[in-house]
Structure 1
Amino acid sequence: MATLEVSGLSKRFGGLQAVDDMAFSVDGGEILGLIGPNGSGKSTTLILTMGITRPDRGTVRLRGRDMSGLPTHAIAKAGMTMVFQHSRPLRRQTVLENIQLALLPDALLQWRIPPRLDQRARDVAHRVGLSHVLRQRPDSLPFADLRRLEIAKALASNPHVLLLDEPFAGLAPRETGEFSELFLAMREAGCAIVLVDHNVKAVAKLVDRIAVMHTGRKIFEGSPAEATGNERVREVYFGKSLDAAQSPRSATQHVTPTRRLLQARIDSVRYGKSQALRDIDLHVDEGEFVSVVGLNGAGKTTLFNSILGFVDYAGDVHFHGQSLRSRKPSANASLGIALCPETRELFSAMSVRENLDMGGHALDTRERARRLEWVYDLFPVLGARAAQSAHTLSGGEQQMLTIGRALMQKPSLLLLDEPTLGLAPLVLEDISDVLTRLQQEGGLTVLLAEQNLTFSLKHSDRIYLLETGSLRWDGPAARFAAEVGEDLL
């Protein structure tokens, strides 16, 4: 009997099947890695397992006992706990007091810390490397110590099963190694661990088995070596064979850059105490199609948000030689930068035509009408759906509308953030054809953030590879497959 057995786990949110018939098991003294592209259902699987959200169907057994329908606190009392991606300590209490509170028994009349619990809290703090900050409050801690505090609070209950959601997010490579050693020690002590993280390489080095999810379903389970070498897993992350991908102008009509359009030198981007980007030096010349590729969580969206001014950063970004620092996103957009966000951000209650008109609101009436006809020519389905509300469109049609709305701005630089996410192959081909046409017609510069390498390489002149917030490689797309392509998972 496995320590934790999950079977048939399913959950639908409205029209989205977030988790579909998910099953896995993990024994004491074993680490199971749960990986998959963004939106595959990994974190939802953890919160369903922990009872934070009730599944539509499925069973969760902890040491043979059925946890189905039990509240989260009862599941925790039975021996399962979860460490969330975001730290939420009690800010007014010290590190020691936070751990002591996690040790208190479930009793209303218990308000003093017995000596044995105080020593237990100190032992847990020592185990995770917090002995030197016991009297400090959370706000004074570095990011890695905040993560250690969350793990200490989880370990205080001496769980049989530990669920870890993105434990490596925001950590430097050295800190990732230290946390890996901590999790290995917990495994040696007999704990069963389920670990979700975007850092596939760190996961593969740490876990005993890997389960891979895609669109809510488990598509593979096996050893780390089997997972990273599996053709289906690589296709889910990167698309089809990299060798088959070739830019339509790579052989005969490769762009000759005219002048520097965008220069981004970003020393650091932080979300609170977590560092999302570091030492970024990226440029795009007029007429180029440049891709920033990397796994989810690498920092691609943060890079785009920095360029437009949605997040604070150390460094500077220049567009047409003009600094964008300290400018509002709307002011940067007015210079000729258009963003197609990963989340699309359409006006759902407005029609297709109204969404497109919003994109071209700065144009005069005649120019907006010409631009609209051009977008309808690129995406005929938008013309046919012009009167429909945006929320009634399919996912692929919504992505087309997102791109069309951005093109209505007449941008000189188009930022495309994960445009292939969740698209059916036929829709992806339609969007690829549109990008090929835009490249052939000229006049538009594109910076693409994408996980699907096949899609990126098909269109790109140059590639930047982003890993855990840092640029690892850059160069012509023609060299990417030979130099990097087999060393990403």
Structure 2
Amino acid sequence: MSPPPCLEVRGLRKAFGGLVAVNGIDFDLHEGRILGLIGSNGSGKSTVMKLIMGIERPDAGTIRLNGVDLAGLPPHRIARAGISIMFQHSRPLHRQTVLENIKLALLPDSLLRLAVEPEIVEKARVIAEQVGLGKVVDRRPGTLTFADLRRMELAKAIARNPKVILIDEPFAGLTLAEIAAFSELIRKLGSEGRAILLVDHSVRSISALADHVLAMYLGKPIAEGTPDDVMADETVRRVYLGGKIEDTGYRAAVQSTAKPLLQIDRLGVLYGKATALDDVRLVVRQGECVSIVGLNGAGKTTLFNAISGLVPFSGSIRFAERDLVRSNAGEIARTGIVQCPESRELFGTMSVRENLDLGGHLLPKDKRREQLDRLFELFPILSSRQAQAARTLSGGEQQMLAIARALMMQPTLLILDEPTSGLAPVIIEQLSRALGELRRTSAITLLLGEQNVTFALPHADRVYVLDHGRLTWEGSPTKFASEMGVGYL
């Protein structure tokens, strides 16, 4: 008989007001095993981690460590019992060295015993060597690479020799080589007998590490089993890919030799020391729809923000033969690049019409009226909602308004960032029809970023796959469907 699990979670539930973030989560975690927890943004993964660690108090359910229920206990008691957590964001003490940061995690839980004994210093050095920080123990966090900062967080998490380690988004901001090295560290911790609960946006990275995978969606479990079984599950694929890919039948008549409208070469973006984009190269030709597909955290929004002049970058971005490296966001928008952000950024207290008028405020009055009429044909619901405050619209109506406001600027290149995020299937179908109509009746060029490939591919002339800040694949939608059906996840 196999040994009993060291961590048993049953019926875990947590609501924030009317939002049920976690509902009915059950799983077992065994010594020496790695359980991967996957799901899109908002699925409840991080909330599960916080509930186990006592950072949030569950509304219902049990969390048993070696038979003892810890649900609802404060974090320090849960840590003392044998559970630790490595948070997604590094928060070191910047005035202390790496060794001193690790030593702090080793201090006893008593105000009467704060003196650092010699064995504590030696243990901290051993832990530093264990995670690959042996050569930088005397440096301060501000001088470390981003990967070494993540190693230091892992060192702090394993300092008390916990039975269970919760690891939240360890690969965010790491290069592919750094991910491989960090994965090996996690694998080694599991081989030493620790039970590990691993959360990350990178389904592929988790699948390569985990013995067992639990997939979540909107707070509920949707599939559980081996990595291969979960990746092949139809419900999981529908959540990540959006369902069956169906061609709209429309493709722009763009020659592959046509002059590029947008050309990006060796683009890189850093957030502090974290690599968000690395050596990105892509081309968008006049009249094309180019889809950038990638899971949450792949770097799509960062790519669009770099093009729009919202974040500093290295490399080259050229639009209509103009170098954008020294242009600010306003200048870029006036050249013809307009972004419709995932967050929509509507003026909630202003009416639909006022939001649209703001988008077209640079147009002459007659041209503005003409553009409004076109958009009301494209999105009829907005015509009947002209006097309604934007914040009172449904999610789908707000998305239509955000796209319409961007179109009021009559862009040459329209960037759509995750337009289907959080929308019901019937609304997604309406958006898809509107996008098809827009392409049939105008010469607009589109750059579309989506996780939902069911929406992205039917409109695309070409597809790029973005993974951990790097473009890893390029081809036609048909080629994507045949080559990347499994590989995308």
Tell me the TM-score range normalised by the shorter chain.
over 0.9
Letter in 2 for 1:468: H
Aligned length: 485
Give, in whole Å, the separation in 2 of the partners of 1:354 and 1:219.
42
Give, in whole Å, the separation in 1 of the partners of 2:126 and 2:43.
38
How far off is 1:47 after superposition?
1.8
- Once the two structures are superposed, residues 228-259 of structure 1 have per-residue CA deviations (whole angstroms, 9 ceiling, x without a partner) of 111221111112234xx224224xx6445754
Matched with 1:327 is 327
- What RMSD, in angstroms, separates the aligned Cα atoms of the two structures? 1.8
Unaligned stretches of 5+ residues in structure 2: none
Write out aligned runs for 1:124-143 (5 A): 124-143=127-146
How far off is 1:53 after superposition?
2.6
Matched with 1:123 is 126
Give runs of ≥4 in structure 1 deviating > 6 Å. Answer: none
Matched with 2:205 is 202
Letter in 2 for 1:184: R
Give, in whole Å, the separation in 2 of the partners of 1:388 and 1:6.
46
Write out aligned runs for 1:380-459 (5 A): 380-459=380-459
Matched with 2:112 is 109
Change (3 A) 1:328 1:440: same
Give, in whole Å, the separation in 2 of the partners of 1:352 and 1:6.
47
Letter in 2 for 1:352: V
Change (3 A) 1:485 1:43: same
How far off is 1:14 after superposition?
4.8
Q: What secondary structure, in the 3-state scheme, does the structure 2 residue paired with 1:275 have? A: strand
Matched with 1:91 is 94
Letter in 2 for 1:434: A
- Once the two structures are superposed, residues 112-165 of structure 1 have per-residue CA deviations (whole angstroms, 9 ceiling, x without a partner) of 210111111111111111111111111111111111100000111211111111
Residue 286, structure 1, aligned to residue 247, structure 2: no
Matched with 1:226 is 229
Matched with 2:275 is 275
How far off is 1:267 after superposition?
3.4
- Once the two structures are superposed, residues 30-58 of structure 1 have per-residue CA deviations (whole angstroms, 9 ceiling, x without a partner) of 11101112222212221232222333433
Letter in 2 for 1:211: L
Matched with 1:151 is 154
Give, in whole Å, the separation in 1 of the partners of 2:149 and 2:185.
15
Normalised TM-score (structure 1): 0.95
Q: What secondary structure, in the 3-state scheme, does the structure 1 residue paired with 2:25 have? A: strand
Matched with 2:189 is 186
Write out aligned runs for 1:23-34 (5 A): 23-34=26-37
Write out aligned runs for 1:308-387 (5 A): 308-387=308-387
Give, in whole Å, the separation in 2 of the partners of 1:347 and 1:10.
35
Give, in whole Å, the separation in 2 of the partners of 1:360 and 1:94.
54
Change (3 A) 1:366 1:14: farther
8 Å CA contact 2:254–2:288 kept in 1: the answer is yes
- Once the two structures are superposed, residues 317-339 of structure 1 have per-residue CA deviations (whole angstroms, 9 ceiling, x without a partner) of 11111111122212211211111
Matched with 2:476 is 476
How far off is 1:15 after superposition?
5.0
- Once the two structures are superposed, residues 353-391 of structure 1 have per-residue CA deviations (whole angstroms, 9 ceiling, x without a partner) of 222222222223332233223222212222223233222
Q: What secondary structure, in the 3-state scheme, does the structure 2 residue paired with 1:348 have? A: coil
Give, in whole Å, the separation in 2 of the partners of 1:271 and 1:138.
16
8 Å CA contact 1:247–1:460 kept in 2: the answer is no
Give, in whole Å, the separation in 2 of the partners of 1:446 and 1:423.
20
8 Å CA contact 1:12–1:18 kept in 2: the answer is yes
Give, in whole Å, the separation in 1 of the partners of 2:203 and 2:228.
12
Q: What secondary structure, in the 3-state scheme, does the structure 1 residue paired with 2:142 have? A: helix
Change (3 A) 1:15 1:330: farther
Letter in 2 for 1:195: L
How far off is 1:167 after superposition?
0.6
How far off is 1:284 after superposition?
0.9
8 Å CA contact 1:291–1:462 kept in 2: the answer is yes
Residue 167, structure 1, aligned to residue 170, structure 2: yes
Letter in 2 for 1:200: V
- Once the two structures are superposed, residues 184-222 of structure 1 have per-residue CA deviations (whole angstroms, 9 ceiling, x without a partner) of 221122211110112211211111100111122211011
Q: What secondary structure, in the 3-state scheme, does the structure 2 residue paired with 1:175 have? A: helix
Give, in whole Å, the separation in 2 of the partners of 1:303 and 1:21.
37
8 Å CA contact 1:266–1:313 kept in 2: the answer is no
Matched with 1:262 is 262
420-429 or 258-267, which deviates more: 258-267
Change (3 A) 1:67 1:298: same
8 Å CA contact 1:247–1:461 kept in 2: the answer is no
